[in-house]
Amino acid sequence: MGKHETSYARVERDLYPTREAWVTEALLAHFDLAGRSVWEPAAGRGNMAEVLKAAGADVFCSDIVEHGYPLDAVCDFTLTEVSRRFDAIVTNPPGGPRNGLAERFVETGLQHIAHGGLLALLLPADFDAAGRRRPLFAECPAFRAKIVLTRRIVWFIRPDGKREAPKENHAWFIWEWTMLRAPVSPSILYAPNPSNGDLSCPTSGYSVPSATRTTTASPVSSNSP
């Protein structure tokens, strides 16, 4: 089942927990967040946060409402004022109608990492294809990489007991500002690696540079009603 198949009612507040650990591990296969401070601003039921914590990250969890998982703050990410810095912002954002809310997450995240740091969002694989999103991708100097998921995410367990057959492809999209003036082409990466039968994604590869370890953003105060 896909998130937004027309035969299924949309879940309230677009709560689609990232139940499968391999999805977050796919990000960790390319970005080493061990020992880093990470803000998970749409923590939901804590699935992604728990994988990040297991990888050694110091995770600050928030969401617009509580879903039964302990939160450090209850706030609207798109309205939250900056008062603390993080090494990275990592989340599976709510999409909203026509993925408009997801776009706001990208825009807000870019503001939060304006002075350094990493923004990693789990989004539909073709999210960067829409012409109106060019300012977030093709025209955005901070857009750094796309990690294409080589497996499809199972968001729901079928109530009829039949085998799930997800139809949607997803990818991690990465933004990171740099002082380099020359344009840098985004990298296209893949995970898990199907060539060696890898169904998990061990942490390895990219490490957040020490020069950008302290980024922006923290949900200590919010402009939400």
pLDDT at 15: 67
Total structural domains within the chain: 1
- Predicted confidence at residue 214, as pLDDT, reads 38
Q: Which domain holds residue 213?
A: 18-222
User: Would residue 1 count as lying in a domain?
Assistant: no
Provide the pLDDT for residue 155.
Answer: 87
Task: Tell whether 10 is covered by a domain.
Answer: no
Q: What pLDDT was estimated at residue 159? A: 74
* pLDDT value of residue 212: 37
Residue 133 lies in a domain: yes
Q: Render each residue's pLDDT in the chain as its tens digit; 225 residues.
A: 344 444 444 455 456 789 999 999 999 999 999 999 999 999 999 999 999 999 999 999 999 999 999 999 999 999 988 788 999 999 999 998 899 999 999 999 999 999 889 999 999 999 999 999 999 999 999 999 999 999 999 987 777 777 777 889 999 999 999 888 777 899 999 999 765 555 444 433 333 443 333 344 444 555 544
CATH of the domain at 72: 3.40.50.150
The pLDDT score that the predictor gives to residue 182 is 79
Q: What is the pLDDT of residue 162?
A: 74
- Domain-embedded: residue 4: no
Q: Is residue 6 part of a domain?
A: no
Residue 3 in domain: no
Q: Give the whole-angstrom CA distance, residue 199 versus residue 29.
A: 12
pTM assigned to the model: 0.81
Tell me if 33 is assigned to some domain: yes
